[in-house]
């Protein structure tokens, strides 16, 4: 039987995102030329929330985009049925500080694909990576600049992120393989 452990509840997610929002502003030294880009699908929802938090505290109006990395995956040749391709809509990235937002950082392959895709859209001055959960297990030399929570996991484990926009509730749960 797999076991399900809550990592963050709704209030903890709210606090974590608020801290991440101020860390992003700190790291990018202000909101000028700052662009948030969320990776479809939950990263895009988290990016939209971070934008609202930053805009509220800084009085800014950040550009926010969505990125679907499906067509940039390195495993398209080996996986079975074609994954569904989502929407990509990006603002101008040239010369900007781009913050890539995702829910979970694991192998780093999604971020690698996102970096490649961003490079096809423009030449950002700088790219930062911001994730709600860092679960370790990297297969590429990639690290996050802003992290909500770190948790150590095994290869059989799963981290489920639920966001109210898509799932009706906010929660992060660790699902461990039984045994």
Q: What residue ranges bind another protein (CB under 8 A)?
A: 68, 70-72, 76-82, 84-89, 116-117, 120-122
H or E segment to which residue 62 belongs: none
Residue 37 or 146: the one with the smaller Cβ distance to another protein is 37
Residue 160, judged by CB atoms within 10 A of its CB (0-12, 13-18, 19+), counts as middle
Work out how close the CB of 78 gets to another protein at its nearest, in angstroms, rounded to a whole number.
6
Work out how close the CB of 6 gets to another protein at its nearest, in angstroms, rounded to a whole number.
34
> Cβ neighbours of residue 33 under 8 Å, at least 6 residues apart?
95, 96, 97, 125
Residue 68 or 102: the one with the smaller Cβ distance to another protein is 68
Residue 71 or 166: the one with the smaller Cβ distance to another protein is 71
Report residue 100 CA to chain centroid gap.
6
Spatial contact of 97 and 126, defined as CB atoms under 8 Å apart: yes
Residue 43 or 148: the one with the smaller Cβ distance to another protein is 43
Residue 68 or 157: the one with the smaller Cβ distance to another protein is 68
Rounded Cα distance, 122 and 118, in Å: 6
Work out how close the CB of 76 gets to another protein at its nearest, in angstroms, rounded to a whole number.
6
Work out how close the CB of 135 gets to another protein at its nearest, in angstroms, rounded to a whole number.
26
SS3 11: helix
Work out how close the CB of 90 gets to another protein at its nearest, in angstroms, rounded to a whole number.
9
């Amino acid at each position: 039987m797999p076991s399900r452990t809550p990592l963050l509840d709704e209030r903890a997610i709210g606090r974590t995102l608020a801290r991440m929002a101020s860390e992003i502003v700190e790291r990018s030294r202000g909101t000028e030329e700052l662009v948030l880009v969320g990776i479809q699908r939950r990263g895009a929802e988290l990016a939209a929330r971070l934008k609202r938090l930053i805009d509220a505290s800084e009085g800014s109006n950040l550009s926010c985009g969505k990125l679907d990395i499906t067509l940039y995956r390195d495993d398209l040749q080996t996986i079975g049925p074609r994954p569904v391709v989502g929407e990509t809509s990006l603002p101008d990235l040239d010369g900007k500080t781009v913050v890539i937002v995702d829910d979970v950082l694991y192998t780093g392959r999604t971020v690698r694909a996102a970096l490649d895709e961003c490079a096809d859209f423009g030449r950002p001055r700088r790219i930062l990576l911001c994730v709600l959960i860092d679960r370790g297990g990297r297969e590429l030399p990639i690290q996050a600049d802003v992290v909500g929570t770190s948790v150590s996991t095994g290869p059989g484990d799963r981290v489920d992120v639920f966001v109210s926009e898509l799932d009706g509730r906010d929660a992060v749960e660790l699902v461990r393989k039984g045994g």
